[in-house]
Amino acid sequence: MNNTIHARWDHVIVCSVAGGNHLSFAKVLAKSVKENAKHCKFVLCLVEEEIHPDTKKIDFFDHVVLAKDIGVPNFYKFVSKYNLYEAACALKPYLLQYAFNVYGKEEKFLYLDSDLCVYGSLDKLEVLLEKHSILLTPHRLEPQDILNSIDEEIVNLRDGVYQAGFFGVRKTTESERFLQWWADRNQDYSYNDPSEGLFLDQKWLDLVPCFFDGVHVIQDPEYNMASWNLSQRNLTLNDNNQYLVNARPLVFFHYSGMGKWLDNSIRLHVPDKSNAIYRMVSEYVLAYTRMGYHKYIHNPWSYENFDYEKYLMKKWMN
């Protein structure tokens, strides 16, 4: 039996959102996507008032669009309510709606946070999108039975079962309903308030399998390995210098919390510094440094302390 996965990556659009200060991370992501899915299109939504000139020099960005141009209703009121992190999270469904329109003949779309890096073939995701309308990944795949077991599961109950740094959609009536529903919620409720049961855009995803048909939860450890599941996923390096997670080829790693909770999780769960994860993290740091990290990281956000009332007054006077 031939189990080879045949994929047509010219039919898949990969999207991401970033502020100008994270442009180096977005470059690393786009490069890694292109290396593992050469015929895809990479779309970057920049959460700034103007296009950064450097984006025009980057071959692996196929399309760069400003957040204000993707169809968010009353964008300036929207962005005035959020900080950069919150706004970037809230924009995800709007960006996918925009991509649906721009790439009208395409059917398969993926979203990846800018601080992810792809290490293996994405072909299986295309195959899954042949059968399903919505793809989600949970933070963890099995009960936590070591080190801080209850604490780590409580975090998932608080912050959300599914990880919003990745999702996939096939253009169907159901996925269009999902994106519109999520966008409507993110318009006003993409912030962190545990007392109200909110955690940015992410907590809303808990309801998706209840509300929509065609949802597939990916149960494979090679997708979305990150700080929150290091206790259950073992990274190794084979003789071909390929990273494996639980003996399966790693597809993508989410570097959320670099210098913070990722470092703490590595120290707690992977104390052996000969482990492959130390090499992989060092390679990632080198990659984003070479992509201009120190040039971009301190760039002020265009909408920092944005005053919507002053904006309206200036617009009215003109």
For 69, what's the count of Cα atoms within 13 Å in the CB-facing half-sphere? Answer: 13
Classify 211 as helix, strand or coil: helix
For 203, what's the count of Cα atoms within 13 Å in the CB-facing half-sphere? Answer: 18
pTM for the full predicted model: 0.94
Strands 41-46 and 12-18: parallel
- Average pLDDT of the segment spanning 25-39: 95
Q: What is the reported pLDDT for 7?
A: 52
Q: Sorting pLDDT into bands at 50, 70 and 90, what band is 4?
A: very low
The owner of tokens 């009332």 is 309
Q: What is the reported pLDDT for 152?
A: 82
* Spatial separation of the C-alpha atoms in residues 229 and 236, rounded to whole Å: 15
Please say whether the beta carbons of 30 and 64 come within 8 A: no
pLDDT in tens, 85-112: 999 999 999 999 999 999 999 999 999 9
The mean pLDDT of the chain is 93
Q: Sorting pLDDT into bands at 50, 70 and 90, what band is 57?
A: confident
The strand pairing partners of 83, in sequence order, are: none
Instruction: Look at residue 41 and tell me whether its pLDDT is greater than 80.
Output: yes
Instruction: Look at residue 253 and tell me whether its pLDDT is greater than 50.
Output: yes
Q: Is the dihedral of CA 197, 203, 206, 211 positive or negative?
A: positive
